Structure 1
Amino acid sequence: MTFGGHPVPVRDHLIEQIRQRLSTPAPKARFIQGDPVMITTGSWSDVEAIFLSGDGTERAVILLNMLQRQQKMVLPISSLSRVEARA
């Protein structure tokens, strides 16, 4: 790290915390791009959409079909559930 172009000492415990975080595997993604999802809360409840991407750790970007166009919407990832494959 630098401050004003000069190196700044970093405490050993902070470096150890960073190492521990880097050695812990990232959690498996709940949804992947293209997954069909169902909105489970709010005014859009029971509407099907397509998962586009995560937006941070708690929000999701989805594609929603409205008026024959796909619209992006950002909402809490906790308000989505996976749509099981249809037979």
Structure 2
Amino acid sequence: MSIRNATGGSNPSEQDAWYLVQCKSRQDQRAEENLLRQGYVCSRPICLRDQIVRGRRQLVRESLFPGYLFINLPASVDWSPLRSTRGVSRLVSFGGMPLAVGAGVVAQFQQCAELVVSPSFKNGDIVKVLEEGFAELNAVFLTLDGEERAILLIDFLSRRQQVSLPLTKISAL
């Protein structure tokens, strides 16, 4: 993930600031493409997510913050062309003024965005449970239960039990 602009450059000016743009529903990529075409510097952190598509697990690229992207602009710029850009809904503002986002925050998202990958577990993998009540127990991954949950086999009270937990509550060993 990197900062992109229409001229291929990647270093916004020191006096420019980052702002948050709200995009129209499911049009983050369209908004980014149109803003880049107009010469703006944009950043739309992307993550990879394990998802079931047509019965198969696939790694899908999607926005880390669906419906939003960051744009780098000087404070003195005319904001009106942004509002009429296809895919853009508005510039996020407080008290009628766009609020700058810290450059460090945007840089941090850029560094970790491509690394954010939903776990890809296979049947029989040993995983660690992070859920309270089962914390620090090891379990056997059986299968996905929808897109956000997993079915696990846990040794609990001398019996093997099947439990369904959110994917966010398990990690690889």
Smaller-chain TM-score bracket? 0.5 to 0.7
The 5-angstrom pairing of residues 1-87 of structure 1 reads 26-27=58-59, 30-83=120-173
The 2-side partners of 1:78 and 1:61 are apart by: 13
Letter in 2 for 1:26: Q
The 2-side partners of 1:76 and 1:82 are apart by: 14
Aligned pair count reads 61
Unpaired runs of 5+ in structure 1?
1-20
SS in 2 for 1:33: coil
The 2-side partners of 1:74 and 1:41 are apart by: 11
The ranges of structure 1 where at least 4 consecutive aligned residues each deviate by more than 6 angstroms after the TM superposition are none
Compare CA radii of gyration and give the structure with the larger one.
Answer: 2
Aligned twin of 2:5? none
Unpaired runs of 5+ in structure 2?
1-52, 61-118
| TM-score between both structures, scaled by the size of structure 1 | 0.61
The 2-side partners of 1:44 and 1:31 are apart by: 19
